[in-house]
Amino acid sequence: MFLRSFFQSGSASSRNPGNDWSSWVSSVAARSSAAGAMVSKDTALALTALRGCVTLLAESVAQLPCELYRRTGDGNRERATDHPLYDVIHSQPNRKDTAFEYYEQAQGALGLDGNHIALIDRDGAGYVQELIPVSNTKVRVLKGNDGMPYYHLIDQNEILPSRMVHHIKGFSLDGYVGVSPIETNADAIGLAIATEEHASAVFSRGTTMSGVIERPREAAPITDQAKLDRLLSKFAERHSGIRNMFSVAMLQEGMTYKQLAMDNEKAQLLESRKHSAVTICQLYKVPPHMIQMMDRATFNNIEHMGLQFVIYTLLPWVKRHEAAMMRDLLLPSERSDLYIEFNVSGLLRGDQKSRYEAYAIGRNWGWLSANDVRRLENMPPIPGGDRYLTPLNMAEPGNSASALNATPAQMKEIEDILCRA
């Protein structure tokens, strides 16, 4: 057990929760946005665009196979299936979760809180046996005098060193705790929440907007406030709400109804909702068509946008996972021979026609063999498929026979034919 006096907060003004970096992980309080809506993880997830972006990233990372490789002496690599860590990261990180469930939960926590924390269970030799995910609300990150992070388990009131914790950070301002995208963009998310609440309120009132009832100037004023309140309540009861959306009102004594609020067309309700969804896509760097917003997607650009998503959005998250696992799960003596990698090659491939055209160029110019192409397409090798072709105009002088792969008798026959011509 470590002494509490050994730890200090990451900020000089640590007594102020707003400036204490260690409160980022354990913060669960909602924050009021400029639009007046309260923003928390739960209210943010109620937005279809934000939930779509978070789950898209989580499922995209979770579906990638995670492998442990060993470098071989000839410059190649092989799967280290005999290592105790291989089964943990590839198949079952703990007794409860499958690999897909674990990585989905990890990336989901990163997308919402900016951090993923899991406890490391090691055996007597120091090898990882299990990765047990912990809710970010149950952990507080502390900075020790040695500059290393330590983790305070709030429920157990225990402090663990970094070698016992697997911590993946998102974008960080201090290097110890990732920044929550929901907390740092509360105003943009709050505007989206307010727009949805406004749309819900409009339809719950049967699309009836607020207004005033005007009486003629010469009409006697209603001095009884109770009578006036009953009149307005009765009018609202009969002519607002979904059940009364087609009701007809009859105004007497020259009364007129004047609408005060803007109608949905003037308020550009649909455009505002669409703009909020695009803003959330910008926050997570997700192309809008990947959450089913197909307005600007065409057959020509949708494939390129998909590749951009893999390269500029998905790969940085994958690299965060790989680097954190290399740091936390491998022993220092193993890192020169072993490394962890997610297989993203399948996502980076283009369409079938483009791939086959590229393979044909590489095959004809002699830098791809048949087995190289089959390996890229996840197909088994074939006998004799390791031969590389050489174009005739690229063959060395006097080496035509090897370029054509012809026997001496065949070469003599070719020369006789050329001489007769």
Same domain assignment for residues 297 and 394: no
Render pLDDT for 13-23 as a digit per residue (tens, 0 to 9): 333 333 344 44
Which own/partner pairs from 308-316 qualify as long-range (CB within 8 Å, at least 24 positions apart)? 309/285, 310/344, 310/347, 310/348, 311/348, 312/285, 313/57, 313/284, 313/285, 313/286, 314/57, 314/60, 314/61, 314/344, 314/347, 315/344
Last residue of a domain, one of 285, 313, 348: 348
Same domain assignment for residues 48 and 83: yes
Same domain assignment for residues 75 and 216: no
Same domain assignment for residues 86 and 124: yes
Q: Which residue ranges of the chain lie beneath pLDDT 70?
A: 1-29, 204-210, 238-253, 259-267, 299, 350-351, 392-407, 421
Same domain assignment for residues 312 and 359: no
Same domain assignment for residues 285 and 340: yes
Contact between residue 154 and residue 138 where contact means Cβ atoms under 8 Å apart: yes
Same domain assignment for residues 90 and 218: no
Same domain assignment for residues 140 and 33: yes
Last residue of a domain, one of 240, 260, 280: 260
Residue 14 to residues 30, 85, 179, 297: CA-CA distances in angstroms?
Answer: 21, 38, 17, 48
Residue with tokens 């669960």: 28
pLDDT at res. 415: 73
Same domain assignment for residues 239 and 378: no
Same domain assignment for residues 276 and 250: no
Structural domain harbouring 409: 349-420
Same domain assignment for residues 110 and 200: yes
pLDDT at res. 403: 54
pLDDT at res. 376: 81
Q: Listing from the earlier edge strand, what are the strands of the sheet with 66-71? A: 77-79, 66-71, 338-342
Contact between residue 376 and residue 350 where contact means Cβ atoms under 8 Å apart: no
pLDDT at res. 2: 40
Same domain assignment for residues 128 and 191: yes
How many structural domains compose the chain? 3
